[in-house]
Amino acid sequence: MPDNPILIAGGGIGGLTTALALAHIGQPSILIEQRTRIDEVGAGIQLSPNASRILMELGLGPALAKVVAEPQRLKIRSGKSGKRLGSMPLGEAMQSRYGAPYWTIHRADVQTILLDAVRGSDHIRLAFGRTVAAIEDNSTSSVTIRCDSQSASERVTGKALIGADGIWSNVARLMGDPSKPEFHRHIAWRGLVAKKDWPADLAADETGLWLGPGAHLVHYPIRRGEFINLVAVTSDPDNQPGWSRAGEPSVLQKRFASWHPDAVRAIKSAQDWTIWSLYDRPPRTTWTDNRVVLLGDAAHPVLPFLAQGGALAIEDAHVLSNTLSQDADNPMDAFAAYAEIRKQRSAKIQAAARRNGDIYHLRWPFSIGRDLAMSRMELTDHYSWIYEWRAS
Ligand SMILES: Cc1cc2nc3c(=O)[nH]c(=O)nc-3n(C[C@H](O)[C@H](O)[C@H](O)COP(=O)(O)OP(=O)(O)OC[C@H]3O[C@@H](n4cnc5c(N)ncnc54)[C@H](O)[C@@H]3O)c2cc1C
């Protein structure tokens, strides 16, 4: 058991990166994850320079470089006509402008790399198969929580508790915030295609974004380009309970049947689809309570229309370890400073993602204005405020 550890609830991208960032400053932690093992659905994630830079600083660059793909450009097209609406250079252009790559990666790969690093650290203890169920004491000197497993309950005491337990955060509820995320009336279909099954004449080395009425489609390479990750987001008032479930390909194909033949072929190339219901919530006003603090989706879930939710969780981990490194004996001040630093940026990104969703799905005639504006827009400049971010 590490000495005077910080407790972390949740072993997603946010929790794992936080444990590593704390280890980096010599701060021990116990990472408590409710799942018994981490098995990510077959889907990808984009790691923009603001996030990849931090992962590289944590020493994960070489491991990541072996499994990532690095798309050469983002190309935005009209879902109906196939007309090019805009593009943004990625690849080398990102590296030279921001000093860090724009990577795309399989979620299982990034989780495995984070988890391997966590397992290799003397500063981190992993506690899988345990749910953070109650905060029993949150005093001026320590925090005691109750963790439930299938067979028992146990009490764990630490210097502080970081709630990195996702959009449905129980830690936030235990802090006294009863609000729940709301169904955003959109669902995300996620599919994976082996490169050999991807239409040979469709670019495989770029991120493709197709915009249409009430829906959009994204595809990008992952795992050294051996697979193409597809995400199709459709408006859908019918939420079904459950986090992820199998999707019927014919339903999706019908939804996109009137789209440009290239978008249709991209969709038809994936056989298996998983559906995620998209949830949203306004920014939380309270992030800290004494020795407890929220991080990642628990504090500020981001709709996936800007590919920034995971990146923000990674940024959070970095900032939190910075503020703690200044006075590790006084987590309350460090947490307050962290919340102060992070609230504005995360709210701005949450709002920008929401806005992107509205813009992406505009219907005629409003889409005409969007297409015109997009074709005149310098996308790299437009998104620079996101990618160039560094902790001050
Ligand atoms: C379709 C889609 C595409 C996306 N694409 C991108 C992208 O390209 N780039 C990007 O940066 N982001 C993307 N995101 C967002 C990103 O996936 C999330 O923002 C990110 O995973 C949040 O990480 P987290 O660690 O904060 O939360 P989570 O990943 O939700 O992790 C929370 C963890 O806490 C555990 N947990 C929950 N409750 C408890 C408890 N009481 N006790 C113990 N453990 C608990 C859970 O089991 C889970 O492992 C996308 C999201 C979606 C839906």
Distance, in Å, from the CA atom of 167 to the CA atom of 70, rounded to the nearest integer, reads 29
Q: What pLDDT was estimated at residue 345?
A: 97
Scan for tokens 């994960």, then name that residue.
Answer: 60
Q: What pLDDT was estimated at residue 140?
A: 78
- Measured in angstroms, how far is the CA atom of residue 241 from the centroid of ligand 1? 17
Alpha helices in 212-308 (DSSP H): 249-255, 261-268
Closest ligand 1 atom to 170 CA:
41
Beta strands in 23-159 (DSSP E): 29-33, 44-47, 73-78, 84-89, 103-106, 124-128, 131-138, 143-148, 153-158
Q: Which two tokens stand for residue 26?
A: 């010599």
Edge to edge, the sheet with strand 143-148 lists 131-138, 143-148, 153-158
Distance, in Å, from the CA atom of 251 to the CA atom of 372, rounded to the nearest integer, reads 31
Ligand 1 neighbourhood includes 166 CB (under 6 angstroms): yes
DSSP 172-238: HHHTT-----EEEEEEEEEEEEEGGGS-TTS-SSSEEEEEETTEEEEEEEEGGGTEEEEEEEEE-S-
pTM of this structure: 0.97
The domains of the chain are located at 6-180+281-387
Tell me how far CA of residue 212 lies from CA of 81, 216, 286, 299, in angstroms: 9, 6, 37, 31
Q: Is the dihedral of CA 202, 48, 117, 155 positive or negative?
A: negative
Question: Is 363 exposed, middle or buried, given 0-12, 13-18 or 19+ CB atoms closer than 10 A?
Answer: exposed
Closest ligand 1 atom to 17 CA:
25
Residue 112: which residues within 8 A CB-CB, separation 6 or more? none
Distance, in Å, from the CA atom of 201 to the CA atom of 82, rounded to the nearest integer, reads 14
Q: What pLDDT was estimated at residue 4?
A: 87
CATH of 6-180+281-387, one of 3.40.50.720, 3.50.50.60, 3.20.20.80, 3.30.830.10: 3.50.50.60
Distance, in Å, from the CA atom of 56 to the CA atom of 62, rounded to the nearest integer, reads 8
Q: What pLDDT was estimated at residue 186?
A: 93
Query: What residues of the chain score a pLDDT lower than 70?
Result: 1-2, 40-41, 239-243
Contacts 24+ apart (CB under 8 A), 87-92: 87/379, 88/379, 88/380, 88/383, 89/380, 90/206, 90/207
Distance, in Å, from the CA atom of 230 to the CA atom of 240, rounded to the nearest integer, reads 21
**Which residues are annotated as catalytic?**
220
Cis previous bond, 101, omega within 30: no
Residue 282: which residues within 8 A CB-CB, separation 6 or more? none
Q: What pLDDT was estimated at residue 241?
A: 53
Q: What pLDDT was estimated at residue 240?
A: 63
Pair 12, 313: CB distance under 8 Å: yes
Ligand 1 binding pocket mutation candidate from 16, 34, 229 (most atoms within 8 A of CB): 34
Instruction: With CA atoms as reference, report the closest residue to 311 among 66, 73, 45.
Output: 45
Beta bridge mates, 232 = 189, 217
Pair 157, 1: CB distance under 8 Å: no
Ligand 1 neighbourhood includes 49 CB (under 6 angstroms): no
Ligand 1 neighbourhood includes 32 CB (under 6 angstroms): yes
User: Which residue owns the Cα nearest ligand 1 atom 3?
Assistant: 304
Closest ligand 1 atom to 51 CA:
11
Distance, in Å, from the CA atom of 333 to the CA atom of 336, rounded to the nearest integer, reads 5
Distance between alpha carbon 136 and the CA centroid of its chain, in Å? 30
How many residues does the structure list for the chain? Answer: 392
CA-angle at 32, arms to 241 and 319, nearest 5°: 95
pLDDT digits (tens, 9 = 90+) for 35-83: 998 776 679 999 999 999 999 999 999 999 999 999 999 999 999 999 9
Ligand 1 neighbourhood includes 297 CB (under 6 angstroms): yes
Pairing of strands 131-138, 244-247: unpaired
Q: What pLDDT was estimated at residue 283?
A: 84
The total of other beta-carbon atoms located within 10 Å of residue 343's CB is: 16
Q: What pLDDT was estimated at residue 392?
A: 76
Instruction: With CA atoms as reference, report the closest residue to 163 among 139, 136, 141, 145.
Output: 145
